[in-house]
Structures are given as structure tokens and as C-alpha cells.
Amino acid sequence: MLAIEDLVTDGLHIDRFAVQSGETWCMIGGLGSGIEQFAGIIDGEKNRLHAATLQLPEKIGLLSFKRQQAVFEDELRKDDTDHLDRLDPGTPARLFLTDVDRHRELIDRFAMTELLDRGYRQLSTGQVRKLLLLHHITRGADLLVLEHPYDGLDRSSCQDVDQVLSGLHGQGLTMLLLVSNTGDIPSWCTHLAVFKDGRLALQGLRSDVFPEVVELLRGQSSLSQVAVDDLRQEAQVVDRSKADIPLIQLRNGFAHYGEIEVFSGLDLTVKQGDHTLITGPNGCGKSTLLQLIIGDHPLCYRNDLTLFGRRRGSGESIWDLKQQMGIVSADLHRNHRVSGSALAIIVSGLFDSIGLYTKPSAAQQRLGYRWLERLGLVERAAVPFRQLSFGEQRLILLGRALIKAPPLLILDEPTHGLDENHRMALLDFLERIADEQLATIIYVSHRPDEYRNFFKQRVQFH
Ligand SMILES: Nc1ncnc2c1ncn2[C@@H]1O[C@H](COP(=O)(O)OP(=O)(O)OP(=O)(O)O)[C@@H](O)[C@H]1O
């Protein structure tokens, strides 16, 4: 089915790896382990690749971040908004699927039936992930390769996906799951493999190798070493006299898309230090709420919304507001289609631009380097952002949000695509920011192990 021997490429070396028909492999690896290069090989990237044997099956269904970004960019190219009297919603979801009638039950199971006539751009992050997964399953493949299949999905969707994949395994479908969190290893996988330091460090039958897997994946992330003393010096001076003025006050908040209501009657007050966790199922309106707050949603002016003591729509400049917010979201990530280097993207956070269009001062460059150091990515400083792996890009965007040490951090599923070590290091780091009162944090996540005690309030959507 799949055979690799003596493979050498940038950042990955595999002596021997083979998958037999009907096997299901869960392959685990963190940032810089080589797992993303492996996904690239499956995707047909042959750059500077040498292999004694490289046999891949004809029909591969590959769900990867890179492919997902390619779909998004394809949708942008097809955007016809300029010629319509409304926003172009994008390709209807049903056109991504093969033989909808035959797969009704499956589509229903993924709670996607009612979304089939929505355009691609009208879907939430989790809904897009489910659609692309359905795309590959309904199309049929000899080998299904799924990169981080559970990322971005709510708990019940994770269970549904897990049961569906387990069922496909029962029917004899060969699968490779590429994950970076040990908690994402499904119970039904027959085989496990671990990538570490650019090599396939361990592989074998699940029952034989499982205990070694956890041990092998234990690691350190440089993010955890960031000195809070450093940050304290960099943090924007918080005006204590304004401590009682809420950073965010939304009264009777609402959002809708045309006739479709997302939420209404939502009250939210966030004062300094009110670190807020936002949770709820896919498509319930978490990102929409954050878009209202950061000014990326057209209804932000029609809502009774006050930010940093100023009512939205009262002549305030969005740039003054953005200067006080550090933002990471899927939307920001996919819209980073710019040519700048990793360093330039970090530094662009000081200017709130997507890409860097102003020559930074020497001090700003130095600060950018410091953030690269803190993220453990200093060697990647000159690499174009788009050539970094998805997880590295995420870390760079975190650096971009943090570089100006803003009073308000808005993080919408910031750990999407990160491995366990980096996820936990980021949460430790945020916890210290919270303890030291360096910023107020608003955080969206589907992962219960990220619901730390420093969150003072929780907005739970249903
Ligand atoms: N431009 C749009 N037009 C129409 N509907 C939209 C649009 N954008 C989002 N929606 C719908 O609004 C709802 C809320 O979307 P939102 O992205 O806020 O959900 P979410 O809670 O962040 O989901 P996820 O957990 O999947 O990220 C979803 O049902 C989505 O399909």
C-alpha cells in the first residue's frame, strides 16, 4: 500500500516505513519533529527529496492545513462580490461532497445537513473542518491521511468523527492520522509511530509501543522559559486610575447573518483582570462575538458596545483600539497571505498590519528577535512566513500579538495546530501574564485541558 525506504529530505530522514492495506496508523510528532515534512511527502512535494523507495497509493484523500489553506485561497480567487449586490458566500457546501443522497446519514451525524446550501465562506472554523473531512470520506480513497483531524472540533464532534473513522477502519479502509497531542491518539488505531528530531524514532503495533510513545514525546518548549520580568518592562503602562472602566462592555449584544440569528441578548463585561474563557459547540457564535469586539464584524456599530470606555461608533479610530489588543484567530491566520519573513510578521504586530510596510527601527527589530528567541524560532527568522509549518506560523502569530504587550489579549483557538508541549507552555505563559496582571485575556478553546483556573469568568454558548 505505502512503502518508504532510505528517504532523506529537508528536516526528515526515514530508514524504512511501510503500511499494509487495512492498517490504521496514528503518527505523532510535535513542532520540528519532521511530521509536517511527512505530510508534505504524502502531498506529493518532491523538493530536494531522495528516496530508495517511495511508493504511494494512487487515490489518497489528504486533509491537511496546507490543503485547507489552498481551498480558502481558491475560494478567494472565485470571489464574485464585486459583480453581485451582496457578499459572495462562496461555493455551496454540498458541491464539496460526492453523492450526497447516499451519504445522508453520515452528513447528518456531522450536523452538516442544514449547512449544505451555505457557501464555504459562511461556515465556522469547525464546520469547514467537518466539511473537508466529509469531502474526502464521501469521495472515497485508497488511503485516507488526516492531519490533526480533531483540531477545531467541539467535544461531541470529536466523538462523532472518532466513531465514523472507527467505522471506516472496521470496513477495512487504510488510514494515517497525523496528530501532535497524545490525547488525540484514537483507541482503534492498530499501529503507532513517533516523529522526533527529524526521524521516525519509533514505530510498531500499538500494543507493543504505546508505553514508549508518551515517554518519547515528553519535551520542552522554549516558550515556557520566557522571563516575566522581561515582559513586565515591555508591557504597556496600565493606567490604574481607569481600573474600574470595563475594557469591554456589551449590552444586549446580537449578531445575525441575513435572516439567520447567531445570538441575541448577550451581556458581557470584561474589566481589567477578568480573564474570560469562551466555550460552546462549533458554529454557536464564539468567533462572531470576538469579531464584534475587534471591529471585524459589520454589526459592531449597531451593537451597544463600549471598548476601553468609548462607545463604538462615537468617532473613535479602529487603529487606536487595535493598538490595545493582541489578536490571534483562524481568520487572521488564513488572511496572512503575505510574503514577509517570520521576523517581519512578528514586528508587524507593532503596526497592526498584515505584513510589514514600515521600516522598523533597530529597537523594534531587536524586540522582534527577542520574541523569536522566546518562541524558539530564532533560526527561522529569515524564512518566509508562508514556508513555515502551520504550527510555526501559529507561534509567530502569537509573537505578533504579544510583541506590543497589549492590555487586552484576544485569543480565538490560539493553540490550533500546536503540539502538547507548546500548548501547555503557552497556557503556563498566559497564566503568568494573568498572575502579574500584565494583560487581560479572552480565550476561546474546545480543549478542556486548557480551561485553567486563572480564567475568572466563562461565557458558555449553547
Ligand atoms: N458570513 C457568514 N454568513 C452566514 N453565516 C455565517 C457567516 N459566518 C459565520 N456564519 C455562521 O454563523 C455561525 C457562527 O459562526 P462562528 O464562526 O461565530 O462560530 P464558532 O462558535 O466560532 O464556531 P467554531 O467552534 O467552529 O469556530 C455559524 O453557524 C456559521 O455557519
Ligand 1 centroid to residue 423 C-alpha, Å: 24
Nearest CA to ligand 1 atom 8: 122
Superfamily of domain 2-217: P-loop containing nucleotide triphosphate hydrolases (3.40.50.300)
pLDDT digit string (tens) for 306-359?
999 988 888 778 888 888 999 999 999 999 998 899 999 999 999 999 999 989
Using the atom order of ligand 1, give the atom closest to the CA of residue 446.
25
pLDDT digit string (tens) for 56-92?
999 999 999 999 999 999 999 988 777 766 778 899 9
Q: Is 288 in the pocket of ligand 1 (CB under 6 A)?
A: yes
Q: For helices 390-402 and 420-435, what crossing angle results, to 10°?
A: 10
pLDDT digit string (tens) for 30-39?
888 999 999 9
* Average pLDDT rounded to a whole number, residues 274-300: 95
Using the atom order of ligand 1, give the atom closest to the CA of residue 115.
31
Name the residue of 110, 133, 155, 262 whose CB sits within 8 Å of the most ligand 1 atoms, as the mutation to test its pocket: 262
- Kindly report the average pLDDT of the chain as a whole number: 91
Q: Is 255 in the pocket of ligand 1 (CB under 6 A)?
A: no
* Prediction pTM value: 0.92
Nearest CA to ligand 1 atom 13: 283
Least confident segment among 46-50, 67-71, 211-215, 227-231: 227-231
Ligand 1 centroid to residue 254 C-alpha, Å: 13
* Average pLDDT rounded to a whole number, residues 214-224: 69
Name the β-bridge partners of 61. Answer: 144
pLDDT digit string (tens) for 400-435?
999 998 999 999 999 998 888 889 988 988 998 898
Name the residue of 124, 292, 294 whose CB sits within 8 Å of the most ligand 1 atoms, as the mutation to test its pocket: 124
Using the atom order of ligand 1, give the atom closest to the CA of residue 126.
26
CA distance linking residue 136 with residue 141, whole number of Å: 7
The predicted structure's pLDDT at residue 221: 59
Higher pLDDT among residues 444 and 80, named by residue = 444
The C-alpha cell of 443 is what?
480565550
Provide CATH 3.40.50.300 ranges for the chain: 2-217, 222-460
Q: What band does 281 get if pLDDT is binned at 50, 70 and 90?
A: very high
CATH of domain 222-460: 3.40.50.300
Q: Is 341 in the pocket of ligand 1 (CB under 6 A)?
A: no
Ligand 1 centroid to residue 352 C-alpha, Å: 24
Q: Is 414 in the pocket of ligand 1 (CB under 6 A)?
A: no
| Pairing relationship of beta strands 457-460 and 276-279 according to DSSP bridges | parallel
Ligand 1 centroid to residue 271 C-alpha, Å: 26
The neighbour count for residue 257, using CB atoms within 10 Å, is: 15
Q: Is 90 in the pocket of ligand 1 (CB under 6 A)?
A: no
